[in-house]
Structure 1
């Protein structure tokens, strides 16, 4: 049994945080499933920007779209949808075997509309319909304006990956939106959802501020905020999902941004320390490889950690870290980074189409 399968035994599903036409056409995605025990895929605007800006895998479809006179945004989504459909088909057996929990492939709404409830819901419907696969998940950011769209999408039977969650306070709102949606759904048993908590970006921002403070107490807290924050969220998950409507599924926490940004930290930090029941960890392939090579799992590292994690946050507050500001900055920058990647991709595609 490899370490990814051990992780699954602990209750954490491993999804790959990457997708491209090359990966699909070469058979690499199937190999990753077979050899590395990956059971799902997540995408985002930055991933598709990287995939479509290099190589020749998309050339034939771009030529077709150019002949049809498609604008850049519609062309990008046409190519993304084709990739997601192919990936959904590859994961179909895992989807069936897991009862719909895994075998999932995520595609994100346009990040530029994250502050527009109606536009977000409309695009969620469009992507759900166009991908036309039961194992697709529509990614919607957890901005205040998008939370009602998340509820409405779930109520219509659309499986949603709620993304860009940084704070436990926002996570409580996400769970409330999820519960509202499935209570209004005709058949909640067909709906699955994950709540994507971003981990490494929190350490990056908090560590920068700790280093600016520079005291011994502050520096000793570097690299601790991300794991502690996710563990606090997991405690909330356990609290809020004690009672569910009949037939409904829990909305699993998904640990995202799990590739370490600081090379001084273990490459498997956000995997070994966030293993436990009813969770997903979406990893870059380099992180998956590190887990396979290094192992290092030491059981369930989520249950029973809430008190210790709260102490870390109290210590961060005591040394002068304004956590509310940290979360506000990360949410704003998270949307901005995806908008920038999307805009860059559209500009590049516009040149190729014209």
Structure 2
């Protein structure tokens, strides 16, 4: 249906121009806002979901934005109503044009002219409505009137249909169900704008910062303490507080399912994860944001990951929530 075909795009435009417009202006700003919201909510499981199920977390947030935007002032009903007006006008205009010959004179008022009228309408509406030849033949077989009464009856029926559907659209509806049935999913369109490629660092789970799917290597400017991504020391079972960039510059080793349980040098991580670029740099530090998060939820992460709490540096324990937010702004280059 024409209304549904364009509704997904309409919803995307509405979200991009609505209350969340700034968040969708860039991938960086979207990421900043998600993490800022997590900091403000102070809900541990939300952090776990963001770290471990990043794609689902982002999709859920986008869908929430859509629901907020479409629930306000019957926005979804209005969009459907606007689309209906557009297609009804197109069909009405096409009917008027199709009822005339190339010379601009009305077609003769006989049954044969109906064939030409419908054929003309198919041409004029080819971009908007799909009408097969089989459907055309069936319609012609059922029509008993001549051309002029048929045209008037068609225009009258369009007007009546418009009124009926407008009344139907004015009633409340299940927005979630409507959006999920659309041929063009607005959540997918918005997701592709802000999500990037979707891959996460195998150690700390930071998302790749490269846009789209076409790039040679996955990369991130700043990695997180690896314990947040579930990495733990084998002997002590403590969550790892060091960064991936530090360990790939060390003589340390790691083991996991991807190494078939065998020990593998961090320096040679690319043999296991050839798609990731993690520059060796022991001078880099995690942002104050993730230091704060690991300190605040150290015991909870340990419990969640069936490990023991990380040995976090004493300096991390003095980081305030305000400093964590400033660290987040710095990481994403957000200016007040």
TM-score interval, smaller chain:
under 0.3
Bigger relative CO (Cα 8 Å, ≥ 6 apart): 1
TM-score by length of 2: 0.24
Is the strand fraction higher in 1 or 2? 1
The structure that has the greater radius of gyration is: 2
TM-score by length of 1: 0.23
